[in-house]
Amino acid sequence: MAHETGVEQGAEVSAFANTGTVLDRILEARRAEVEHRKKVLPETALKYGVKAATPVRDFAVALSRDGLNVIAELKPASPTRGVLRENFDVAALAGSLESAGAAALSVLTEGEFFRGSLKNLRDARKSAQKLPALRKDFVFDPWQVWESRANDADSFLLIVAALQGEQLRELMALGRDLGMEPLVEVHTGGELETALKAGARIIGVNNRDLKTLAVRPETSRELIERIPEECIAVSESGLGTNEELRTLRDAGFDGFLIGEHLMLSPDPAVALYHLLNGGAGTAKE
């Protein structure tokens, strides 16, 4: 668990506002799409879907095991790197990553910039026999939380910098009502303080700067001392060696979200096995 210490986000506007970055365009596109989908598929229909969804797998428990808990991310493309994997068989990848030792899955569901989909989420979750699946997307509306559970998500991402006022508390509370503990992502000390004040239990420290998209691994090391022991701490972005994971584990991180390193590897399962075992041996079949 993270080390125990004490605990600024504008209430009126998102940190992405008026920055002119690709992230602005992603959020703008997601808001338009969600408004359209809400008209096509009302919340009432999603609530029926939640009743038919498979039982929730405990995301927090999966990240609380001893050892190196990797959230293996299934990401077909990214705004910075373009297409990451042409042959993207999400079911096969999910099954092989589970066999290689993943603690959980993260599945991109944003379509325009990341080529993700809710179908990928469902297929990955079905293929993995036991792993919980995180919905990786830009979630800002309660409708999306209902949509996540109706599509078998076990958790979902909340980006502090993209939320305003009481949105974070509201979305966390709804997720918990549906049995999903969200991963709350921060990038700065001010965002971490906001997340903790809102009652976040799983804190993701993203080493990627949302404004420049540059990766700065020092971010995790700088913020870990401020994450309370009772929280689950996850380091995200820019990780690619067993040594890095072990160093961050010793510093207090419980889990590691790894996507591009795996997706760019010829065999993601072998790459994951080497991350977990220091490069020795071969991945399990």
- Which residues are known to be catalytic? 73, 75, 136, 185, 206, 236-237
Q: How far apart are CA 225 and CA 216, in angstroms?
A: 17
State the pairing for strand pair 183-186/202-206. Answer: parallel
Q: How far apart are CA 119 and CA 76, in angstroms?
A: 13
227-245: b or e for each residue (b if 16 or more CB lie within 10 Å)? bbeebbbbbbbbbbebebb
Alpha carbon distance 50, 48 (integer Å)? 5
Please enumerate in sequence order all residues whose Cβ is within 8 A of that of 208, keeping only pairs 6 or more positions apart, or say none: 187, 214, 215, 216, 236, 237, 238
Local structure of 202: helix, strand or coil: strand
Task: Using alpha carbons, select from 241, 203, 242 the residue that is nearest to residue 223.
Answer: 203
The C-alpha atoms of residue 146 and residue 170 are separated, in whole angstroms, by: 13
- Backbone phi and psi for residue 134, each to the nearest 5 degrees, phi listed first: -90, 130
Do the Cβ atoms of 130 and 98 come closer than 8 Å? yes
